[in-house]
Structures are given as structure tokens and as C-alpha cells.
């Protein structure tokens, strides 16, 4: 099986060392081939094998397995799939992702008390997240902190891309970069770019090595799809082989507040001509973090984490407590945002407990029900 795997082709859709090792060690099913999930639709998935895309469905056994762990296949996953003339492909196995970016969602009519929040994996197996934020009304440090926490939680490296640099003066762009640097973890790169120009591709070249997977994250209208298209176009002109252009739809933002119109509606993995690949995502309407406590926020709030060890009380919430080292050193808006994210986490933790309580109650009821049925049977028989 291993001799027949086209590792070179798989590299163009982001096969890195960790996945390669998994493939070399444990492919049990000789008729299955490794592929990557590039899109998830309601009734099927699109897979890529490094040469082209195929329609696929998940085998019932794998669906059951995933559902047992409250999971589903997501864009970026590596899978083994068996070709089938009728169904396109049957996915029989998912390789263990080496990272995943997750958030919490409150589906349906859920109220904002978090009682129905669920974990949702957005993408998996990513090397770099490009956090895209516009230099128009989209520029907002508190939202940036939220996105930073999202990616730091998953262990994915991030780069801040401030888009629409052409619409502001170089002085303003520089000031915004300096403001952003105040909330970025140390050594995290940040760039201000016009995403429609090939210069954007040149500036991002260090993260676009062959075999690398990037994901575009940011609010609607920030310029994610614009960047995907620029990279596809610029790189295909640069590479002799040429390549399929991304052709992601883009949409103008509202003039008064720069808000986007949610043009992109699904997450899609696009192989780029240079050998890297890019996952374009829809702007998230609401981003709830999947955090449990302050430790989970330490990646994005390293200053708070560092200073907290000097507070007088170990469980200091950096509110009115005496001897707080954080309150004096961290700016008010940043600290309030940290506390807000923590409160959300607390609500989610409670809702997990509530769900456990519900489950216990339900199990007890089922047990009581079957005990009653047994008693009836035995009594009647």
C-alpha cells in the first residue's frame, strides 16, 4: 500500500511530516487511499487526493464512531477512502488530527445563557492561521483578542494581517500596527497589506512553503477570499506549471460600518500553485471560545497570566481584590475583555455540568423504566 501512495501529490494538499508518519505506519485497509477533506456539504463531502477532487460519503461505521465521540469530519481532516463507482468514495477512517481549531456554538433558538452550547471544530491540521482584520471599521482590538485566544488554544501559530492598507495613510497603518502589537503575543508577526495586490503574496511567502496549510480567519468583509484569490493568481503566474485559480467569490462591505455580507458560506481548502494550501472560511457571526478557565486564555493574555502570579490572592479575579498586580499593569479595556471571556467560559462549564446532570437523570429514568418492565414481566410470568 505504502509504495502506491503518491506522497508528492499529497504534499500539494498539505501533507506534513506527522501525517506522513501516520500513513507510513498504520494503513490497515489496502483498498483505501489517503485523501483530504476540502469541503463539507450537508449530504456529502469533497475530498482531494492531490490530483483532483472527488465526491465522498462517510461509511456508516465511521459516522457512528465519530458521533459516539460527539465529532464529525471537518475541512482539513485526513481520511482513508475507498473508491466506489456508485457513491463516489466511501470514507472508512479518519487519521488522528494533529491540531484543530474549535469554538462553542449555541445552535437553534438557544438563548445566550449558554445552556445549549456545543463544541464545534472549525478546521483541523493547520500550520498557520492568518487573522485578517480590516483597517476600516473592522479594526477592533477586543475582537482581535478573541481570535487570538481561539488560535492560541489550538496551538496553531498565527500571523496578523491588517487588510485594506491602501485605504488609509501609511501613518495610520503604522499606528494601528503599533496598537495591535500591544495585544499580540511576543514575536507574533503582523503586516498591513493591500490584499488585492501581488505584493501581499510576496509578503506572506515565508508561510506559504510547499506542504503547509493555512487558514484564513476574520470577520465578514475583512478580505479573506480576496487574499485567497490574490495568492492563487499571483502564485500561478509565478509557477511554470500554472494552476487552477481559486475564484472565491468576494463581496463589497457596507459603506457606513464596513460590515461584510457573509459572501463565503462554507469552509473550503484550496491548493495553491506554490505548493501550500489555504482554507478560506466564512466570517463568524459570533465567536464563542472553547475555554474552561484562565489557564486556557494564557496564550492570548500572557501578560495577565504572568502578573497574576504576583496577586495577593491565588484566585484573584483582578476586580476589587486588594493587592492585585494585574489591575495596575493591564489596560482597563483589555482586562475587562479577559474577564468577559472568562465569564463566558464559566457559563459553558456550568452548562457541561447541567448536561451531565441531565444525562444522569435520564439514565436513572431508563434504569427505573426497565426495572419496572422486568418486575411486570416477572410478576405476570
Q: Which residues bind ligand GTP (CB under 6 A)?
A: 163-164, 166-167, 194-196, 218, 220-226, 250-253, 260-264, 282-283
Give the up-direction half-sphere exposure of residue 245: CA atoms within 13 A in the CB hemisphere.
Answer: 9
Report how far residue 355's alpha carbon sits from residue 350's, in angstroms, rounded to the nearest whole number.
9
Query: In this complex, which beta carbon is closest to Zn ion, that of residue 256 or of residue 328?
Result: 328
Closer by beta carbon to ligand GTP, 58 or else 204: 204
The site partner of 117 among Zn ion, Mg ion, ligand GTP, none (C-beta below 5 to 8 Å per kind) is: none
Q: Answer yes or no: are the C-beta atoms of 214 and 277 closer than 8 Å.
A: yes
Question: Closest distance between ligand GTP and the C-beta of residue 214, in Å?
Answer: 14
User: Which residues in the 54-93 window bind Zn ion by CB under 5 A?
Assistant: none
Residue 125 and residue 276: Cα distance in Å, rounded?
13
CB-nearer residue toward ligand GTP: 203 or 305: 203
Return the number of the residue (149 or 222) whose C-beta is nearest Mg ion: 222
What phi, psi does 233 have (nearest 5°)?
-70, -50
Q: How far is the CB of 260 from Mg ion (least distance, A)?
A: 8
User: What residue 252 binds from Zn ion, Mg ion, ligand GTP, none (CB within 5 to 8 A, per partner kind)?
Assistant: ligand GTP
- Residue 369 contact partner, candidates Mg ion, ligand GTP, Zn ion, none, CB within 5 to 8 A by sort of partner: none
Which one of ligand GTP, Mg ion, Zn ion, none is in contact with 98 (Cβ closer than 5 to 8 A by kind)? none
Binding status of residue 304 toward Zn ion by CB under 5 A: no
SS3 for the chain is CHHHCCHHHHHCCCCCHHHHHHHHHCCCCCCCEEEEEEEECCCCEEEECCCCEEEEEECHHHHHHHHHCCCCCCCCCEEEEEEECCCEEEEEEECCCCCEEEEEECCCCCCCCCCCCEEEEEEECCCEEEEEEECCCCCCHHHHHHHHHHHHHHCCEEEEEEECHHHCCHHHHHHHHHHHHHHCCCCCCEEECCCCCHHHHHHCHHHCCCCCEEEEECCCCCCHHHHHHHHHHHHHHHCCCCCCCCCCCCCCCCCCCCCCCCCCCCCEEEECCCCCEEEECCCCCCCEECCCCHHHHCCCCHHHHHHHCCCCCCCCCCCCCCCCHHHHHCCHHHHHHHHHHHHHHHHHHHHHHHHHHHHHHHHHHHHHHHHHHHHHHHHHC
Q: How far is the CB of 84 from Mg ion (least distance, A)?
A: 33
Residues 248-307 that bind Mg ion (CB under 5 A): 263-264
Window contacting Zn ion (CB under 5 A); options: 82-90, 194-202, 279-287, 325-333: 325-333
CA distances from 179 to 183, 190, 256 (A): 7, 11, 23
Task: Figure out which of the listed residues 311, 335, 341, 345 binds Zn ion, where binding follows CB under 5 A.
Answer: 311
Q: Is 324 a binder of Zn ion (CB under 5 A)?
A: yes
Rounded to a whole number of angstroms, the minimum distance from the CB of residue 319 to Zn ion is 8
Cβ 302 to Zn ion shortest distance, Å: 15
Query: From the list ligand GTP, Zn ion, Mg ion, none, which binds 326 (C-beta under 5 to 8 Å, kind-based)?
Result: Zn ion
Q: Can residue 46 be called a binding residue for Mg ion (CB under 5 A)? A: no
Select 165 or 311, whichever has its Cβ closest to Zn ion.
311
* Residue 226 or 351 with smaller CB distance to Mg ion: 226
Instruction: Say if residues 48 and 56 touch (Cβ distance below 8 Å).
Output: no
| Binding residue (CB under 5 A) for Zn ion from 100, 104, 212, 318 | 318
Q: Is 326 in the site for Zn ion (CB under 5 A)?
A: yes
Question: Hey, which residues between 220 and 259 contact Mg ion (CB under 5 A)?
Answer: 224-225
Instruction: Read off the C-alpha cell for 171.
Output: 501613518
Applying CB under 5 A, the site for Zn ion has a residue count of 5
Which CB, 284 or 316, lies closer to ligand GTP? 284
Closest residue to ligand GTP: CB criterion: 223
Q: How far is the CB of 324 from Zn ion (least distance, A)?
A: 3
Name the residues that contact Zn ion, by CB under 5 A: 311, 316, 318, 324, 326
Binding site for Mg ion (CB under 5 A): 224-225, 263-264
Amino acid at each position: 500500500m505504502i509504495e502506491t501512495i503518491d506522497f508528492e501529490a499529497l504534499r500539494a494538499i498539505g501533507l506534513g511530516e506527522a501525517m506522513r508518519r501516520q500513513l507510513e505506519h498504520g494503513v490497515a485497509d489496502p483498498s483505501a487511499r489517503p485523501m483530504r477533506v476540502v469541503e463539507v456539504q450537508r449530504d456529502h463531502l469533497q475530498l482531494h487526493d492531490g490530483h483532483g477532487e472527488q465526491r465522498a460519503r462517510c461509511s456508516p461505521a465511521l459516522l457512528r464512531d465519530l458521533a459516539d465521540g460527539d465529532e464529525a469530519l471537518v475541512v482539513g481532516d485526513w481520511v482513508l477512502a475507498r473508491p466506489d463507482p456508485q457513491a463516489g468514495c466511501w470514507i472508512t477512517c479518519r487519521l488522528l488530527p494533529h491540531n484543530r481549531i474549535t469554538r462553542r456554538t449555541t445552535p437553534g433558538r438557544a438563548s445566550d445563557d449558554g445552556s445549549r452550547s456545543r463544541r464545534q471544530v472549525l478546521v483541523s491540521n493547520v500550520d498557520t492561521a492568518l487573522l485578517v482584520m480590516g483597517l476600516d471599521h473592522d479594526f477592533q482590538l477586543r475582537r482581535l483578542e478573541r481570535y487570538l485566544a481561539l488560535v492560541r488554544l489550538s496551538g496553531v501559530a498565527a500571523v496578523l494581517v491588517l487588510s485594506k492598507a491602501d485605504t488609509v495613510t501609511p501613518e495610520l497603518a503604522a499606528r494601528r500596527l503599533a496598537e495591535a502589537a500591544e495585544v499580540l503575543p511576543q514575536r507574533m508577526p503582523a503586516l498591513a497589506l493591500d490584499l488585492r495586490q501581488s505584493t501581499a503574496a510576496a509578503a506572506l511567502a515565508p508561510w506559504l512553503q510547499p506542504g503547509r496549510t493555512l487558514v484564513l480567519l476574520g470577520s465578514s468583509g475583512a478580505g479573506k477570499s480576496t487574499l485567497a484569490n490574490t495568492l492563487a493568481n499571483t502564485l500561478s503566474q509565478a509557477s511554470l506549471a500554472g494552476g487552477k485559480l481559486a475564484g472565491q467569490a468576494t463581496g463589497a462591505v457596507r459603506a457606513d460600518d464596513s460590515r461584510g455580507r457573509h459572501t463565503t458560506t462554507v469552509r473550503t481548502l484550496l491548493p495553491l500553485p506554490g505548493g501550500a494550501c489555504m482554507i478560506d472560511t466564512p466570517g463568524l457571526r459570533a465567536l464563542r471560545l472553547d475555554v474552561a478557565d484562565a489557564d486556557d486564555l494564557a496564550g492570548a493574555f500572557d501578560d495577565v497570566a504572568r502578573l497574576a502570579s504576583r496577586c495577593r490572592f491565588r484566585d484573584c479575579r483582578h476586580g476589587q481584590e486588594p493587592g492585585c498586580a494585574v489591575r495596575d499593569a493591564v489596560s482597563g479595556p483589555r482586562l475587562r475583555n479577559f474577564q468577559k471571556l472568562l465569564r463566558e467560559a464559566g457559563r459553558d462549564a456550568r452548562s457541561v455540568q447541567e448536561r451531565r446532570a441531565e444525562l444522569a437523570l435520564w439514565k436513572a429514568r431508563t434504569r427505573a423504566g426497565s426495572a419496572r418492565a422486568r418486575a411486570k414481566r416477572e410478576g405476570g410470568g
